[in-house]
């Protein structure tokens, strides 16, 4: 991309008949920042409600850092963040050159902040601001983490811009060619985007988090003070959120995950997994069967339609290993399965399988560690 | 209230797919109603059974080959009133007809064929393409409110109160006024089995067929699938005899614990 840009400016130089050919300041600005130069807008994942709603300048979530590192694989052009609130430039990776935010600020009361933030973050509002940002800055790529937040917004934003997005990307081969899973990850599709603006969402477990090394020269712009501000949207209203809070590491980014399935038999028994997780400094996950049966809350669900995790160590306890569950954890580095059923499909993906009663094995494992 | 429900014919969730030269091999493979579409149908029928919702009609819409008529019959047997089949032989599992075109076809149906739709219910994603795009894209084209990953839908005055799943739990969103698009998540409801009498009744319900080309929508693929291949397989694992051996392996072989 950058080499073709240089080529363009050389041919423009000969057209402009400028004396000092080596000094690009003599080229009019409108020739340097041509409309189709490569630049990326990264949609930042909002901070969880348990943190920082009352902080005016917050830092970036891990999902955003993965999206930024994905953005760096697209091209060498500038990377801009779209966030609900201003970000401290010391909390930015150096690759980020500007921040556009939509004016979320502190009112002083956490509940009011949550409500304000929630309203700003509905898909109808965020997509309208993406459209505003695109009108102002003509990005070539718009990238979001493939979280529930990103997946809610990106297709609407793409539709508004007349584009067809590519979601859940696990590999970036060039600025227009990507790999994404289909059929619950049992097949991979290499796909090439043909439209001039590429809207993409990336699976965060597939991209290392960009280092937060600071970007002191980054500009921070409040979109509410720029041109083309969208009118306040009235299609939906945020009412409230129900968030499970925990001291444990976040499931999506933990290095160790202890996961329970139908074999756990009750919500109380989940405490066995929690003790093991605490010993290993890990997070707790659950299969769909366990969540459906009420043993665990929905945000712990790992699978095709739950969270995708890829920790260093995944220990599946009492999980049979249905296709849909495997699709959410088969990229884990080391997989351990503990199940009393020798024929459970989970043993086919496990690096280490222990055929045993989990109510004996898990406490013993916890005790010995 | 008139409801439009999207129903997609996909590979059955229990099938282990095989990847061939032109993509996933679908010959002689069991096909079913997409599980999330099934949940959308159930929600539509439940709303119809709720007198307070005052639902006049539930119309099921499917885009795909002629076998989609079977998928529509399942939706009709569950309680939908009428079906619309938009016929195309383009592959709908991400390979040829993609979400943007499908959403535009839905838009055409709403604008030209069924002009008084108040609510569109679709599954949150299809288990073949795993895109999850049709719902929010349709809402974007129509400039309608959207509630994705819905785990609870309640009537609220002229609109809805929807609880939806988020990355950290759930949140409640109010839609002050219909029409709206809702995409259905796993825990929204448990779909009913169609009873034999209802299956028989479904045979008499009306299904209109249109060709996809009739609507003047750009069906051309925007994101070209260059290649489909199997993911790299994992190295085969081993069974260990006891917890001691497991700890030893994790510590000294895999080096994932201290």
Contact assignment for B100 to A158 by CB distance below 8 Å = yes
Sequence length of chain A is: 369
Q: What is the Cα–Cα distance from B228 to B20, expressed in whole angstroms?
A: 8
Per-residue pLDDT of chain A (369 residues; tens, 9 = 90+): 444 443 344 444 344 443 333 433 443 333 334 455 899 999 999 986 544 444 445 789 999 999 999 999 999 999 999 999 999 999 999 999 999 999 776 565 666 667 777 888 999 999 999 999 999 999 999 999 999 999 999 999 999 999 999 999 999 999 999 999 999 999 999 999 999 999 999 999 999 999 999 999 999 999 999 999 999 899 999 999 988 777 888 898 899 999 999 999 999 999 999 999 999 999 999 999 999 999 999 989 999 888 999 999 999 999 999 999 999 999 999 999 999 999 999 999 999 999 999 999 999 999 998
Q: What is the Cα–Cα distance from A314 to A343, expressed in whole angstroms?
A: 19
Q: Which residues of B touch A49 (CB under 8 A)?
A: 168
Q: Are A203 and A143 in contact (CB under 8 A)?
A: no
DSSP three-state, residue B112: helix
Of B125, B167, B234, the CB nearest to A299: B167
| Segment 96-125 of chain A within 8 Å of chain B by CB | 118, 122-124
Nearest-CA distance from B79 to chain A in Å? 25
Contact assignment for A239 to B174 by CB distance below 8 Å = yes
Contact assignment for B132 to A151 by CB distance below 8 Å = yes
Of A156, A299, A335, the CB nearest to B136: A156
| Segment 303-322 of chain A within 8 Å of chain B by CB | 304-305, 307, 312-313
Q: What is the Cα–Cα distance from A225 to B171, expressed in whole angstroms?
A: 29
Residue A25 neighbours by CB distance under 10 Å: 8
Of A152, A187, A256, the CB nearest to B228: A187
Q: What is the pLDDT, as a whole number, of residue B28?
A: 93
Contact assignment for A305 to B124 by CB distance below 8 Å = yes
Whole-angstrom distance between the N-terminal and C-terminal Cα of chain A? 52
Q: Which residues of B touch A62 (CB under 8 A)?
A: none
Q: What is the pLDDT, as a whole number, of residue A54?
A: 44
| Segment 129-158 of chain A within 8 Å of chain B by CB | 147-149, 151-158
Using a CB–CB cutoff of 8 Å, tell me whether B26 touches chain A. Answer: no
Contact assignment for A195 to B139 by CB distance below 8 Å = no
Contact assignment for B99 to A347 by CB distance below 8 Å = no
Residue from B92, B136, B143, B230 whose CB has the most chain A CBs within 10 Å, to mutate: B136
DSSP three-state, residue A269: coil
ipTM over 0.90: yes
Place of tokens 């409500």: A115
Q: What is the pLDDT, as a whole number, of residue A245?
A: 73
Contact assignment for B166 to A299 by CB distance below 8 Å = yes
SS3 content of chain A, % helix, strand, coil (to 5): 35, 25, 45
Q: Are A59 and A210 in contact (CB under 8 A)?
A: no
Residue from B168, B174, B180, B190 whose CB has the most chain A CBs within 10 Å, to mutate: B168
Residues of chain B with pLDDT under 50: none
State CA A150 to chain mean position distance.
7
| pLDDT tens digit sequence for A203-245 | 999 999 999 999 999 999 999 999 999 998 999 999 999 887 7
| pLDDT tens digit sequence for B59-110 | 999 999 999 999 999 999 999 999 999 999 999 999 999 999 999 999 999 9
SS3 content of chain B, % helix, strand, coil (to 5): 30, 30, 40
Q: Which residues of B touch A344 (CB under 8 A)?
A: none
**pTM for this entry:** 0.89
Q: What is the Cα–Cα distance from B150 to B69, expressed in whole angstroms?
A: 27
Contact assignment for B93 to A323 by CB distance below 8 Å = no
Q: Which residues of A touch B225 (CB under 8 A)?
A: 189-191
Using a CB–CB cutoff of 8 Å, tell me whether A187 touches chain B. Answer: yes
Contact assignment for A252 to B138 by CB distance below 8 Å = no
Contact assignment for B100 to A299 by CB distance below 8 Å = no
User: Strands B2-6 and B119-123: what pairing?
Assistant: parallel
The number of C-beta contacts closer than 8 angstroms across A and B is: 260
Q: What is the Cα–Cα distance from A246 to B166, expressed in whole angstroms?
A: 16
Residue B232 neighbours by CB distance under 10 Å: 7
Nearest chain A residue (CA) to B238: A352
- Sorted by sequence, the CB contacts under 8 Å of residue B201 that are 6+ apart come out as B76, B77
Q: What is the Cα–Cα distance from B70 to B75, expressed in whole angstroms?
A: 9
DSSP three-state, residue A250: coil
């Amino acid at each position: 991309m950058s080499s073709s840009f240089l080529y363009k400016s050389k041919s423009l130089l000969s057209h402009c008949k400028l004396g000092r050919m080596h000094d690009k300041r003599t080229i009019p600005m409108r020739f340097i920042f041509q409309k189709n130069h490569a630049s990326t807008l990264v949609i930042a994942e909002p901070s969880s409600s348990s943190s920082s709603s009352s902080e005016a300048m917050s830092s970036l979530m891990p999902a955003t850092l993965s999206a930024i590192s994905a953005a760096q694989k697209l091209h060498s052009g500038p990377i801009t963040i779209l966030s609900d609130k201003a970000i401290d430039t010391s909390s930015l990776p150096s690759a980020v050159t500007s921040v556009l935010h939509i004016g979320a600020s502190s009112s002083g009361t956490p509940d009011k902040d949550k409500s304000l933030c929630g309203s700003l973050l509905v898909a109808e509002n965020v997509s309208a601001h993406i459209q505003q940002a695109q009108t102002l800055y003509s990005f070539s790529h718009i990238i979001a983490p493939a979280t529930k937040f990103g997946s809610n917004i990106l297709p609407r934003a793409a539709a508004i811009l007349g584009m067809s997005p590519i979601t859940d990307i696990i590999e970036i081969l060039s600025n227009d060619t990507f790999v994404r899973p289909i059929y619950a990850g049992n097949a991979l599709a290499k796909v090439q985007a043909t439209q001039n603006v590429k809207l993409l969402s990336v699976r965060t477990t597939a991209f290392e988090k960009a280092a937060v090394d600071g970007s002191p020269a980054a500009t921070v712009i409040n979109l509410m003070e720029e041109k083309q501000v969208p009118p306040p949207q009235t299609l939906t209203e945020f009412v409230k959120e129900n968030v499970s809070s925990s001291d444990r590491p976040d499931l999506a980014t933990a290095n160790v995950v202890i996961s329970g399935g139908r074999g756990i038999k009750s919500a109380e028994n989940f405490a066995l997994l929690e003790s093991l997780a605490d010993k290993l400094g890990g997070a707790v996950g659950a299969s769909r069967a366990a969540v459906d049966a009420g043993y665990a809350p929905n945000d712990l669900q790992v699978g095709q339609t739950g969270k995708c995790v890829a920790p260093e160590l995944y220990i599946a306890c009492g999980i049979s290993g249905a296709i849909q569950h495997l699709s959410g954890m088969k990229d884990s580095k080391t997989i351990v399965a503990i199940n009393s059923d020798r024929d459970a499909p989970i043993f086919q993906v496990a690096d280490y399988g222990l055929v045993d009663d989990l109510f004996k094995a898990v406490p013993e494992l916890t005790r010995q560690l | 209230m008139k409801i439009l429900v999207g129903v997609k014919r996909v590979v059955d969730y229990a099938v282990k797919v095989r990847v061939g030269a032109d993509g996933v091999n679908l010959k002689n493979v069991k096909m079913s109603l997409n599980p999330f579409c099934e949940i959308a149908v159930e929600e539509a029928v439940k709303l119809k059974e709720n007198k307070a919702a005052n639902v006049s009609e539930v119309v099921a819409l499917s885009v795909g080959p002629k076998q989609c008529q079977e998928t529509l019959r399942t939706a009709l047997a569950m309680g939908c009133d009428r079906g619309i089949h938009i016929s195309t032989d383009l592959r709908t599992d991400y390979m040829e007809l993609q979400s943007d075109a499908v959403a535009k076809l839905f838009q055409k149906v709403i604008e030209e064929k069924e002009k008084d739709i108040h609510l569109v219910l679709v599954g949150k994603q299809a288990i073949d393409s795993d895109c999850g795009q049709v719902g929010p894209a349709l809402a974007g084209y129509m400039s309608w409110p959207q509630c994705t990953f819905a785990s609870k839908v309640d009537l609220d005055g002229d609109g809805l109160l929807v609880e939806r799943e988020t990355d950290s739990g759930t949140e409640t969103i109010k839609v002050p006024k219909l029409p709206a698009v809702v995409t259905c998540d796993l825990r929204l409801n448990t779909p009913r089995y169609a009873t034999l009498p209802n299956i028989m009744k479904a045979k008499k319900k009306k299904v209109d067929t249109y060709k996809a080309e009739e609507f003047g929508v750009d069906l051309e693929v925007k994101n070209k699938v260059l290649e489909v291949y199997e993911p790299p397989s994992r190295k085969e694992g081993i069974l260990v005899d006891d917890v001691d051996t497991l700890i030893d392996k994790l510590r000294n072989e895999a080096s994932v614990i201290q």
